[in-house]
Structure 1
Amino acid sequence: MTIDDEIQKVLSSPGTSYWLRQSLQQALDRDCVDAANDAEYLSELLDRRCQPIISQAPGTNESSGKNCG
C-alpha cells in the first residue's frame, strides 16, 4: 500500500475522527516538511501532557511505549 493509498484510507474511514480528518486534509495542502515537523511537535506536546495522567492510572505499564491514545 502506498502512502497516498493509506492517506485515502484514513480520510474515507468512518472510524476516523473529525479532528484527524480535518487536520490531515489541511496538512496535505501545506509544505510537507513543515506539516510533518508541526505534527511531530504536536505529538510530543500531547504525549507529555498525557504522561502524568497515564502514570497515575491503576494498572498502567509505563514501559509500553506510546501512551494516551
Structure 2
Amino acid sequence: MNNSFEPKKPGIKTESAMERQISFVLAHPGMSAWLKTALSDALHRDPISVLNDLEILNLILRNRSEMLIAEKYSSHDPR
C-alpha cells in the first residue's frame, strides 16, 4: 500500500481539470481572440513569469477599466 498520498491544496486544480478549462476557453466562440491568444501564449512560458505578468496586467487594466467606467457613468446626470 502506498502511504505517500498528499491531499490536494485548496484552490489547486488537477491537471485534467485545468486542461478541460483551457480547451473550453480556446474552443468557445464567445471568448475574445485577445483572451485566446494570451492563454495560448502563456501555456509555453515560465509559470512564475506568467503569474508576475498577470499581477501587473490585473492591476493596470482593472484600474484603467474602473476609471473609464466611473467617468462614463458619472458624466451622465440622471436628474
One-letter code aligned to 2:73? P
Give TM-score, length-normalised by structure 1. Answer: 0.72
Following the alignment from structure 1 to structure 2, what is the Cα–Cα distance between the partners of residues 14 and 50? 24
Q: Which runs of 5+ in 2 are unaligned?
A: 1-15, 75-79
Question: Alpha carbon RMSD of aligned pairs, Å?
Answer: 1.8
Partner of 1:32 in structure 2?
47
Q: How many residues align?
A: 59
Q: Which runs of 5+ in 1 are unaligned?
A: 60-69
Question: Aligned pair 1:43/2:64, yes or no?
Answer: no
Q: Which of 1 and 2 has greater Rg?
A: 2
- Identical columns (%): 34
Following the alignment from structure 2 to structure 1, what is the Cα–Cα distance between the partners of residues 67 and 22? 31
**Pairwise CA distance, 1:21:** 0.5
* More relative contact order, 1 or 2 (CA 8 Å, 6+ apart): 1
Give TM-score, length-normalised by structure 2. Answer: 0.64
